Structure 1
C-alpha cells in the first residue's frame, strides 16, 4: 500500500488556519451603522437648525418694534415645532429613541387672532426646540469630525465611539424635544378650557342683556307710559283711566313673570333652596313632553357642579320640546364614585349630534371646561340618549 505523498509544511499550516478562521461576515451590526449615519447627519442638520434660529431670531428681534416683529416671532416658534418633529423622527429611525409627540396647540375661540398669537408665544415646545437647534452646531461639528476620523483611523473602536456619542444625542433629544409629561398637556387643556369658560360667560351675559332689553325692560317702559296716560285721564275720564290701570296691572304681571323666568335662567331659587332633585322636577314640569325624573344622590354636590348639571338638563329638555318630536322622556341623575352622572333619554326622531346646531356643542364645551364628558347617541329614527359626566365635588 502506497503511503500518501507528504505535504509541504507551508500548505499544511494554510489549510489548518483556513479551517480555524470564522466565516466572513459584516463588520458591524445594523444598529451601529444607524448610529454612524445619525452622527454623520448631525453636521448638516445642526447647521440648518442654527442658521434658522439665528436668522429668524435676529430678524424678528430687530422688527419687534414694528407691527410684524411679534407675529414673525410666533411664526418662528411654529417653524421650530416642525424642526423638532423632524429631529424626533430622525432619532426614532436611527437611534431607536421613542419620544412622544407634544400636544398640538389648542386654539381657543376667544380673540381668534390675538389669542392664537399669545398662545404660540407661550409655547414651551417651540422655545425648547429653538434652544436645541442653537446649541447643536458645535456638537454637530464635533460628532461629524470624530466619526469621520474613526471611519478611516480608529476602525476597531468605532462602534464604541459611535455608541458613546449617540447616547449624548439620545439624552439631548429626550431632554429638549420630548413633551413635559402630563404637565404640559394639562397646561394646554387648561388654556383651552379657560377660553371656553370666558366665551360661555360672555354669551350668557349677552343673552341676559338681550332678554332684559327686549322683554321686561320694554314691558316696563310701556307700563310707565300707560300709567302716565291713566294719570292724565283720572279726572277727565275715570272709566278710561280705570281701564288703563287694569291693563297696566296685567303688564306688571307679565313683566314679573319674565323677570322670574330670567332669574330662573340665571340660577333658580328652587335649586339653591331644595337641591338638584326638586329643581330638575320643576324644569321637567315645563317640558312639553312627559318627563320622568329619577335622582339618586346621597348628598348635594358643590353649587357650581349642581348649577352646571341643572342647566345641562334644562337645555336638553328644551331641545326635546323643540326638536325631538318625542312622546316621552326621562332624566336620571346619580353618583358613581367621584363622578356625577346624568342621562337624558327620549323616544323622538333622533339625528341629534354635536354639530347639529341645537346647542349640543356648547354643552360639550361647558362640561369639558370642568373636566366633564358629554356623549350623544342619537341614530336616525331614535331613540336619543345623552350622557353627561361631571366631577363630584362636595359642598363646602
Structure 2
C-alpha cells in the first residue's frame, strides 16, 4: 500500500499538469470566454437603462403630480429587467450549457390599476432587477478575464511582430512595451529581438492562467443566475410537487384502467362461463337423465339459486368495473358523454368543443362529474331538461351542467357535490355552483387538460 503512494501522487500531479496545459484549448474555455465577452456590453447597457428608469420612477413617484408616471417608469424597469434576464438565461444556455428554468409567467390583474399593482408586486421582475445590478461587477471581471486572453495573444506574437511587421525600436534607445494583464508592477520594455522571448514567456503564463480566471468569474455568474433568474425556491418546490402529483394521478388512472380490463377479461368471463354451465346443468336435470324426481327438484332448486347468485355477482362486477373506468371513455370524452346523455332519464342537450384530448385521469374525472351532476338533476331538481357543455377555455377544460329545475343546490346537503369538490381538487380543479331558488341551476367544473 505504501509502495503505491508515490506512483499515485505522481499520477495525480501529472494529470493536473496535463489538465492545466490543455485548459486554454478546450471548448469549455472558449465558450466561457465568449460568454464573458458578450456579457459585458449587455450588462453595461442594461444597467445604465435600468438605473435611468428606476431613478426617474422613484423621483416622480415621490411627487404627487408625477406619481402615476413614476409608477409606470418602475413597471418599465421591471419589464426591462425581465427581458434582460431572458437574454442572460439564453446566453448561459447556449454558451455555458447552464439551463435554468424561467420563473412563472407574469399574471396580470383585472383592470388598469390591477395590472399596475400586479406589475409592481412581480417578485420575478424585482429579482431580475437585483441580477442586473449585481451582474455588472461580475461582467466587469469577465471583461478583465478576456484581457488575459488578449494580452497572451499579443505577447506570444512579439517575435513575429518584431521581425516581420517592424514593430521594433525605430530610433536608437527606443524600446517595445510588453503588455501585461496585471494592474500593477509597471510595463516592461524590450530593446532587442532576444528580449521578445521574455514577452513570449509572459504570454504563455497569461494563456495558462486565463481559462482558470475566466472559469472563476463564470462560476460567480452561474450562482447569480441560479439564485435570481430561476423560479423562486417555493415556486420550484410547488412545481416539483405538481409534477409528482401529476405522475401519481396518471399512474393511478392507468392502474385503475388495468384493473377494469382484468375484471372485464378475467372475472367477468369466468362468471359468464359459470352461468352458462349452470344453465346446461339445469337443462340436464330438467330432462331427467336418470335422476329421481325428488332429487331432481332439489338439484333444480340449488342450480336456480346458484345461477341467480352468479348472475347477480356478474351484474355487480360489471357495475364495479364501470365505476372504476367506464369503457365508453376508451373512444374519448365526447363519445362517453354522448352515451351518458343517451341513457339519462331527463332529456340532455350535449355540446362538446375540446381543442385537445385531456389526459386519461382528467377525462375520467370529467366523466364522473358529469354522471354525478346528471344523477342529481334526475333525483333532486325536478327538471324537465338539462344541458351538458364541455369546452376549452383559457387553457382549461370547463364542464357546465345546466338544468331548469327548482334550484337551491348547495354542496354539503347530501347531493354528492361535496365529493365532486374533493375529486376535482386533487388536480387543482374548481367547482362553482349557481343555483338560486326557483332555478335554473348551473354547475361549472374547471379542470386542467393535464393533471
**Normalised-by-shorter TM-score class:** 0.3 to 0.5
Q: What TM-score results when the alignment is normalised by the length of structure 2?
A: 0.37
Q: What TM-score results when the alignment is normalised by the length of structure 1?
A: 0.41
Larger radius of gyration: 2
